[in-house]
Chain A
Amino acid sequence: MKLIKILLLSIIGIMSANLSAHAVIEIDITRGNVQPLPIAIMNLAGSADEITSSGSVMDIGAQISRVITADLERSGLFSAIDPRAFINSANATAAPQFANWRAVGAQALVTGTAVLEEDGRVRVEFRLWDVLGTTQMTGLRYFTAPRNWRRIAHLISDAIYKRLTGEDGYFDTRIVYISESGPYLERIKRLAIMDQDGFNHKFLTDGSYMILNPRFSPTSQEITYLSFYNDTPRVYLFNIDTGKSEMLGEFDGMTFAPRFSPDGKKVIMSKAERGNSDIFVMELATRRIEQLTNHSAIDTSPSFSPFGRYVAFNSDRGGTQQLYVMDSNGENVNRISFGNGRYATPVWSPRGDLIAFTKQTGGKFYIGVMRPDGSGERILTESYFEEGPTWSPNGRVLMYYRKYPYDNRGGGGETQLWSIDLTGYNERQVITPLDGSDPAWSPLMD
């Protein structure tokens, strides 16, 4: 993997062994509305005289701190204290003067350094301090090519998030989505990829043919999606590193709605023949295909449970679109959605405890979650049109797309990416260069 090669990342390990077993501060993210934790994030200290291809290590240190600040604030779980309020700029290598940090209301403090190594790499260290408990909570050291500083920032954000919430972060991740542009009669829909914070944006196709519903492999740098290449809608596999794509299987009928199995070895999808859509699963190594449903209704949008034992899917076999769960061999089909309206796009949480969905009722669209047995339905957000939730790899955040109504002057109809916390708070637009739809979250990179 190319990223790994340029990363040359090595984590030296936790620098402080005397971690207190009972952290004084922690964020309980299982509760509803979390009071954000006040955190002070110092610029990682570096010399203005150590110049790299990406600027001085002083600049790199400051930029890393800004990215960490943005990551943590965007999660809704942290509020970063304005650096202008800082009383002292502590010596990054010594223990902080905690009284000064308590005085500005910080409960946690991040300090660190950026140093240019002789081999041209940058060494970045950070320490997370418990201001009230006056202890170091964690500390890590990374080595990387200077231009790769952004990933270091996301890795540090993940380490801080994990230490303070007890759960894995989701900052060192990417989003693949459909970039949309042009008027509604000539809408261009092409594949694009970016970091979860919108940086390092890149178009992966040129827009000469339509692409929809991309999904990340949980185990490799691959994406599967529906492509209308040659006016023939089929499921494709795309390698992000090589840029190569291939059609998955040769079928008479259309294939669509693909999604990887949790082990990345299979792609589950719909296949339509003579007007009937059923669910099939393909083993990628052998291209062997197995039919899971055989029903005259529409069966689509399949999604595996995290250990691959079950498949949630969308079917209108009961009259309207509803959610169903079956064993991964196609047996024991059970309807799980029973509320008012139509339900669609079930997506199993990486934690396994919830299924996210799109709901359509009363002229509006909703994103919600329910337990795999259909109980505990909870609506998180609503609008004129929204659909297609995707989970952050830690199962804490959902991203989806929204489409606005057309206005009566020939405009409107924009599509945008949005994200919301599982608690239903902290809804935010995810900024893209053009319009965006069909987001798919990558796993944590490694």
Chain B
Amino acid sequence: MLKNKFYAKFLIMIGAALILSACANTGDEAMDSAPAPEVSAPPQRQAPTVERVTIDPLSQEALDMVMGGMEGSLVYFAFDRYDVDSSARGVLQAQANWMKTNNVNVIIEGHCDERGTREYNIALGDRRANAVKNYLVAMGVAASRVRTVSYGKERPVNMSDHDKNRRGYTRVN
């Protein structure tokens, strides 16, 4: 079908050329009577739907972006430790600033790696969650906006890197 159309156009164009050349010989008169070459109209362009991409400023995604990356809601701890180290302090400072301008409540999850006993890790995860909470509160976040929960070693996110499991996760509530 397309091919036929193409040939049809091609033949018309050749025909038109022949007529034109004939006209050249016979004068302007013939030009007016020559059939207008068929020109297919350009396809009508469909205007795409454009929506502005936004992040809900009160969402987990927004908190993730707080540090300019995807890990704005995560801090990490050393083995069997629960102190907030310098890299965690940067993240938590940004979290605190974000919380001060965005009216959200959060739950701090405390997690441990799997190289420990279950009950002790429940307690250690609670320590870590509270260390994060205390830091946020010290940075000016109201304590009533921050809940804590410990999952101990029960929610690992990485099978090979134990460091990635010893974490505090700030979850928008």
Determine if B127 and A387 form an interchain contact, defined as CB atoms under 8 angstroms apart.
no
- Of the listed residues B116, B119, B150, the one surrounded by the most CB atoms of chain A closer than 10 A to its CB is B119
Q: Which residue of B lies closest to A253 (CB)?
A: B126
For residue B89, CB closer than 8 A to chain A, the reply is no
Once the chains are docked, how many angstroms separate the CA of A437 from the CA of B129? 25
CB pair B120 A189 closer than 8 Å: no
User: CB distance A345 to B122 under 8 Å?
Assistant: no
Q: Which residues on A sit within 8 Å (CB–CB) of B122?
A: 212, 226, 233, 254, 256-257, 270, 272, 300
Decide: A272 and B126 in contact? CB cutoff 8 A: yes
Contact of B131 with A by CB under 8 A: yes
List the B residue with the shortest CB-CB distance to A386: B117
Contact code string A165-189 (vs B, CB < 8 Å = 1, else 0)? 0000000000000000000110101
Q: Name the CB-closest residue of A to B156.
A: A184
A-B contact count (CB 8 A): 94
Residue of B nearest to A302 (CB): B119
Measured CB to CB, the nearest residue on chain A to B116 is A360
Specify which chain A residues have a CB less than 8 angstroms from the CB of B71 in the assembled complex.
none
CB neighbours of B123 from chain A (8 A)? 256-257, 270, 272, 277, 298, 300
C-alpha gap A358/B115 in the complex (Å): 12
B114 proximal to A (CB < 8 A): yes
Binds B, one of A139-147, A328-336, A406-414: A406-414
Judge whether B118 and A388 touch: CB under 8 Å. Answer: yes
Specify which chain B residues have a CB less than 8 angstroms from the CB of A301 in the assembled complex: 117, 119-120
Tell me, rounded to whole Å, the shortest Cβ–Cβ distance linking B13 to chain A: 62
Minimum CB distance partner of B148 in chain A: A275
Cα distance A187–B157 in the bound complex, in angstroms: 11
| B134 interfacial contact with A, CB 8 Å | yes
CA distance A301 to B116 in the complex (A): 13
Q: Is B149 a contact partner of A231 (Cβ separation < 8 A)? A: yes
User: Scoring A residues 300 to 331 as 1 if CB is less than 8 Å from chain B, else 0, what string do you get?
Assistant: 11000000000000101000110000000000
Contacts of A345 in B (CB 8 A): 117, 119
Q: Given the interface contacts A210-B154, A277-B126, A298-B127, does A413 sit within 8 Å of B117 by beta carbon? A: no
B71-113 vs A, Cβ < 8 Å mask (1 yes, 0 no)? 0000000001010000000000000000000000000000000
Q: Are B130 and A300 in contact (CB under 8 A)?
A: no
Query: Once the chains bind, are B160 and A406 in contact (CB under 8 Å)?
Result: yes
Is there an interface contact between A385 and B114, defined as CB atoms closer than 8 Å? yes
- Are B118 and A387 within 8 A (Cβ)? yes
Given contact pairs A231-B149, A275-B131, A298 touches B120 in the complex (Cβ within 8 A): yes
A189-B119 in contact (CB<8A): no
B124 on the interface (CB 8 Å rule)? yes
Please encode chain A, from 268 to 279, with 1 for each CB lying within 8 Å of some chain B CB and 0 for all others. 001010111100
Enumerate chain A interface residues (CB-CB to B < 8 A): 184-185, 187, 189, 210, 212-213, 226, 228, 231-233, 254, 256-257, 270, 272, 274-277, 298, 300-301, 314, 316, 320-321, 344-345, 358, 360, 385, 387-388, 403, 406, 408, 410, 412-413, 437-438
Sample of 14 A–B contacts (CB below 8 Å): A185-B156, A187-B154, A226-B122, A254-B126, A254-B150, A256-B119, A256-B123, A275-B148, A316-B80, A344-B116, A345-B117, A345-B119, A385-B114, A403-B114
Interface residues in chain B, defined as those with a beta carbon under 8 Å from any beta carbon in chain A: 80, 82, 114-120, 122-124, 126-127, 129-131, 134, 148-152, 154, 156-157, 159-160
